Structure formats: C-alpha cells, structure tokens
Amino acid sequence: MARRGRPKAGEEAAHRDAVISAAFDELVAKGYEKTTMLDIAKRAGASKETLYNWFTNKEGLFSALIKYQADTTITRIKVALQDNTDPRTTLIDFAHNLLRILLSEPSLSLNRAAMTSVDLAAILLKHGRHATGSIVENYLERLAEQGYLKISSPESAFQLLYGLILQDWQIRVLLGETPPSEDLLSQHAERAVDLFFSLAKG
Amino acid sequence: MARRGRPKAGEEAAHRDAVISAAFDELVAKGYEKTTMLDIAKRAGASKETLYNWFTNKEGLFSALIKYQADTTITRIKVALQDNTDPRTTLIDFAHNLLRILLSEPSLSLNRAAMTSVDLAAILLKHGRHATGSIVENYLERLAEQGYLKISSPESAFQLLYGLILQDWQIRVLLGETPPSEDLLSQHAERAVDLFFSLAKG
DNA sequence: GTTAAACCGTACTAGTAGGTACGTTTAAAG
DNA sequence: CTTTAAACGTACCTACTAGTACGGTTTAAC
C-alpha cells in the first residue's frame, strides 16, 4: 500500500478508501481521542500531510467517516424497504438491519466520537438519524395510504416504531454492555414490528 | 469558599459538595475532555492537590459525579413509584420524571463523558440504567401479581416501557438536538404509558 | 526529456493538561 | 502551648498530539 511519489492513474480512489478503512480500524480499536492522525497514516501507508491535504483536519477526516457509514446504511435500508412482499416482512427486515447496523462496532464508535464534538454530532444526526428517518417515514406514509396503518403522522409513527425496535439497546451497548446475539436480534425485530402493527393498525 | 489551612469542623461535607457542584458546572459548560482539574479547583475554591487527595484522579472525580447523580435519580424514582394512587398515574409520573432526568443537561453531559471511558461507562451503566431498572422491574412485577398487567418477564416489560417512553429522544438530544418542551414531555409520558398498558394488559 | 503535481518520511513547533512536590497557613487535638 | 492534619497556591515535570514545513521520490502530462 505504501507508495512513494505521485500515484498511478486510477489508484487515488483505492488509496482514499484505504485511509477511511484505516481510520475505522483505529477508531474501533482505540476510540476517538486516542486515535492519532499519525496512527491512521501509518496503518494506511499514507503520510500525515496527505491526510491533512485530503481532509483538512482530524474532524474533517471523521466527518468523512460518518458520511461514508451513513451512505452504506441508507443504501441498505432502501434495499430492505424495496422488498415487494408484505409490509410485515419488509418492516421486520428493516428492523433487523437497523439493529445490526446501530449495534455494530463502527456505528457505536462513531456515535461515541460524535458525542465529543458538537460539529461531528450535528453531521451524524443529519446523515444518520434524520436521513433514515425521512426514508422510513415516506414508507410508512405509503402504508397508511394503502390502508395498512392508521397513524396520526409519519414522524410520530416512525418514532414509535424506532422505540419499539431499539428500546434501550443502543445506549446500553454504547456504555459497554455486550450486544445481543444475532438470534435474539431477529426475534426482537419480529416482536417489535408485531407490536407496532398492533398499536398502529387502528 | 476559598479557605486556607485546616478546615473548621463540619465544613468538609459542604466543601466536598462545592467541588462536585463545580465539576458539574464545568462539565456541562465544556464537556469532559475540555474540563480541566485546575478549572474545577478554581471554581470550587479548592486546590488541585486537594482534588487529587479526595478523588485520586480525574476519572475518580467524575465517577463520584456519576454516583451522586445516580443517587438523586434513584431517590426521585422511588418517590414517584410510591404514589399510592392508580398504576396509570404512578407510571405516568415515573415516565415524566425519567424523561426530565435523562434529557437534563447534567445527565446528558455525564453520558457523553462516560462514552469516552470504559470505566466511567461501566459505572454509569451499573448505577444508572441497571439500578433504576431493577426498581421499576420490581414495581411492574407487583402490578402483574395484582392483575394489572400480563407480562412474560419484568425485564422485558421494563424494556418495552422504556422504549415507549424514551423512543430515540435520548440519543437525539445527546447528539445536540434541542429537547422537547415540558408540555410535550408530559403529553408524551401519558401517551407512552397508555400504549404500554394497551400492549401489556393482555 | 522536462516539468510539475502528488506523495512519503522525518523533523519540528507549540500548546496543553494530568499529575506531583513543596513551602505556607489555619485550626483541630491534646 | 505545641504538635499535627488538612488544605491553599505556585511551580514544575512529563507526555503527548494536532498541525506545519521541507527535502526527496515517483509518476503523469506535455
């Protein structure tokens, strides 16, 4: 990975990804404060100066991480919601994905990092919670129009669904509790969606 | 507050409280990383060496903060649950208190601080979430025995209640969103408890 | 070829904060 | 009255890290 001199054509994107990936690894291993720009550079086979050229500063680099993770999250959620089977299965799939993502180490580390900087927090809120929120709200609104749900507003419906799915798992795991197993997660997703329907089906 | 020399008898407790209070103020104002021991000492009219004598190190001081806040929280929750009116009113009172506490600046700042240290996180988890959890679970179990609820386990019942009450408010406010108004909070508490009963009443 | 951009590696700057040491002061203890 | 514990204030040490500067190197571009 360590190349010296001007990069060959077409190599830039891969190199940038290597930096992002290295930053994730360091972040998960050490946390935001103890992750240094030098460590990231070394792991990526890049130089510190390059990191600063590309991302301006440490916050800039980590805001790029947030956006990167948010993009893959959004993609996965959109895929889950495009399932054309019944709404129950679709929502269970969504719930399962949401739990898996939000309880994954990269997401947790990113959330912890965001707590230490108002700017990072704002970016995470915008690209994370609010971005997925509006997508799911659209979906719920469609369900309501089709008569599957009776809801007062898409926002409050999504908040309810979110609460039923996540309960206090995220905050507990953020504080160091070990996350539930895959099996428990999928059981929980199913139960949460069923509760949601029993509350929102009118 | 700034006394020099050996303290007069009976002054120690007040002085210790002054340090705790100063630490809270600094924490809320600047966040954990940017709060220095010197700042706290100055605000409390104490010396840095005294802080280290009393609390060993920075983490020790903040773990004292966590325990202090947890104690007052537990007290308030116990009071709310001792109400001998009907269960619905009691739980709404509890829900309202929980929301107010968890969305208050001191609690938020403490949670953000705990995210940066596994040790602090463990303490917060134990004295915060788990301590209140077991109290409320006991209460819910009593309700179940009295026939007010049909629940599979107190743990899962409390988790459900918690999810209905808090939804994603805590994580959103932790990330910088402005918390809902008092009015919204109490409306929300009522709605959450009603949903809980409609799900858990069998 | 020659130029110039992008990059690596190393060294350097500067600021900061946790933690310690010490001399001084006050009041409790006896 | 003397001794001693507890505390203040200041100065100090140590370690670390974000960010900058620069010289050397490789490749694209022309």
Which 58-117 residues of chain B approach strand D with CB closer than 7 Å? none
Name the residue of chain A whose CA is nearest to B188's CA: A156
Does residue B2 reach within 7 angstroms of strand D, measured from its CB? yes
Q: What is the pLDDT of residue B6?
A: 64
Distance B189 CA to C10 C1' (A): 60
Residues in chain B: 202
**Residue at minimum CA to C1' distance from nucleotide D17:** A36
Distance A143 CA to C26 C1' (A): 75
CB of A189 closer than 8 Å to CB of A88: no
Q: What domains, with CATH codes, occur in chain A?
A: 1-55 (1.10.10.60), 59-200 (1.10.357.10)
**Rounded-to-integer distance, Cα B15 and Cα A118, Å:** 33
**Rounded-to-integer distance, Cα A115 and Cα B113, Å:** 8
* Mean pLDDT within B22-46: 96
**Separation in Å, CA of B19 to nearest CA in chain A:** 23
* Mean pLDDT within B156-176: 97
Q: What is the pLDDT of residues B85-112, one digit of tens each?
A: 899 999 999 999 999 999 999 999 999 9
pLDDT of B32 higher than 90: yes
Does residue B53 reach within 7 angstroms of strand C, measured from its CB? no
- Per-residue pLDDT for chain A (202 aa), expressed as one digit of tens each? 456 666 766 777 889 999 999 999 999 999 999 999 999 999 999 999 999 999 999 999 999 999 999 999 999 999 999 987 899 999 999 999 999 999 999 999 999 999 999 999 999 999 999 999 999 999 999 999 999 999 999 999 999 999 999 999 999 999 999 999 999 999 999 999 999 999 997 5
Distance B175 CA to C12 C1' (A): 37
Residue with tokens 């743990």, as numbered in its chain:
B155
Report the residue from B114, B125, B163 with minimal CB separation from A163. Answer: B163
Nucleotide nearest to B52 (CA to C1'): C19
